[in-house]
Structure 1
Amino acid sequence: MPLGSLRPSPLVEQATQHLREQITQGEWPVGTRLPGENALAKTLGVGRSTVREALRALAGAGLVQARQGSGVFVIATEVAEDWPARLRRAAITDVYEVRMMVETQAARMAAQRRTEEDVAALEEALAARAGAAAEDDAAFVDADIALHAAVVAAAGNPVLTDLFAEFAPALREGLIGLVEVLGLRSRDRNPGHDAHAELVAAVRDGDGDAAGAILQAELEQTLAHLHNA
């Protein structure tokens, strides 16, 4: 299938789409070295900068890889599934098991690294969680996740913070369903308040072992509910 000339705008998106189709339809099999930027630019009727951006987008999709001094090579013919999509597809119990590992270590780090601003944010998030007890399940779950996010943020590692942010949408959906199905707030509108207060206190006091243990126990309890739901 010839590439053909492109319409004037949006050039990068069009160039990316044309090149993606060439790859996914097998015109350039895995291992093939793509034509150089000049050749692609001439064929597509665009500038080299547009081709460069299109190749960068294809690399981000996991289709091509630039090799220093050798060129750009096809490494896959199917677009790699992004992380948020994989999380949406995953079982909530699988997501929760990974969350437990990440957050438990984050709590220990938070106790070692927290600043006065972090402690203030944790106490504010704890109060907001208590305040959300009077609201619906979705609002309460949002407040609960915000408190956990504050603990992760206190660890001072931006990669951990970003990782938790990726988990949050899948966690929110699963937890809202769990609360509703099991009626976890039917007798106690603010379940787990004491444990969360103890967690905040442990981080504030710099007790990493206690913070990790408290969070581990709390998340294990929720995971047990998920397995039995």
Structure 2
Amino acid sequence: MGTTSLKRSLVDIALEQIRLRIDSGAWSLGQRLPPEPELAEILGMSRNTVREAVRVLTFSGVLEVRQGDGTYVRACADPLDTMLALARGSIEQALEARAVIEVEAARLAALRRSDADIVELRQALEASESLYGSPRLDDYIAHDLAFHQRVVDSAHNPLLSELYRYFSRVIRAGLERTISEPGRPQPAFELHRQLLAAIERGDADAAATANRALLI
């Protein structure tokens, strides 16, 4: 085994050991990890190996390095693993999961939206409508997802917003394929307008119903 392969395997072991401690709750969300020398001693690894493992986990979003402060646990699951799991699903599964998020978000948006949210929703819907039917399908999809992201953002739940933003990246490629399929129902902008109107008047049930109809 060459030096590079050996180094890589040691880094993998360090990654596994850090993840196991996070998964077990030994290092909880938001907790600061021990300083590098102590961490290397705990793991029984060299400081260079530990430093590389921390770099990998920081890149993937599990850890966060705060200059002059230390390294903190940012997530209890590896976002890259989550992305891979989502990518393995079918477009039908992705759309089902999207519907679960959007319908409840629309209900919350009707109850929590601000006047500024309504302005941004109108602007996003107008931009989406203006691009429908143009040869730039990817631009239309981006603007359509932006409108739905605005709906989710209007629920004023940062976790829900981030989840949907993350999820939208996964389903975008699938939407480019399915929207252009012959015979597939095309976007119903009247339903989009009904959704916006329901959110504006604070009708949670109507907002959820309109959003659900959009995703059938």
TM-score by structure 2 length? 0.68
**Distance between the aligned counterparts of 2:40 and 2:143, measured in 1?**
53
Give the C-alpha shift of residue 47 in structure 1. Answer: 11
TM-superposed CA distance for 1:118, in Å, is 0.5
List gaps (5 residues or longer) in structure 2.
Answer: 22-37, 63-77
Q: 2:41 aligns with which of 39, 42, 45?
A: 39
> Structure 1: how far apart are the matches of 2:159 and 2:79?
21
- Does the aligned pair in 1 maintain the 2:198–2:207 contact within 8 Å? yes
Of 201, 204, 207, 1:208 maps to 204
Whole-Å separation in 2 of the counterparts to 1:215 and 1:138: 22
- Structure 2 CA distance for partners of 1:212 and 1:53, relative to 1, 3 Å: same
In the alignment, does 2:161 pair up with 1:165? Answer: no
Q: Does 1:100 pair with 2:99?
A: yes
Structure label with greater radius of gyration: 1
Deviation at 1:148, TM superposition (A): 0.5
Could you list the runs of 5+ residues in structure 1 that have no partner in the other structure? 5-13, 62-78, 222-229
Return the alpha-carbon distance in structure 2 between the equivalents of residues 20 and 80 of structure 1.
Answer: 19
Equivalent residues of 2:10, 2:49 under 8 A apart: no
**Corresponding residue for residue 20 of structure 1:** 11
Inter-partner Cα distance in structure 1 for 2:159 and 2:183: 34
What is the aligned-residue RMSD (CA, Å)? 3.9
* Counterpart residue type for residue 189 of structure 2: H
Secondary structure of 1:82's match? helix
TM-score (norm 1): 0.65
Equivalent residues of 1:41, 1:51 under 8 A apart: no
Check conservation: 2:12, 2:53, Cα contact below 8 A: no
Q: Which amino acid aligns with 1:209?
A: D
Give, in whole Å, the separation in 2 of the partners of 1:58 and 1:144. Answer: 30
Kept after mapping to 2: 8 A contact 1:40/1:51: no
* Distance change in 2, residues 1:155/1:175 (3 Å): same
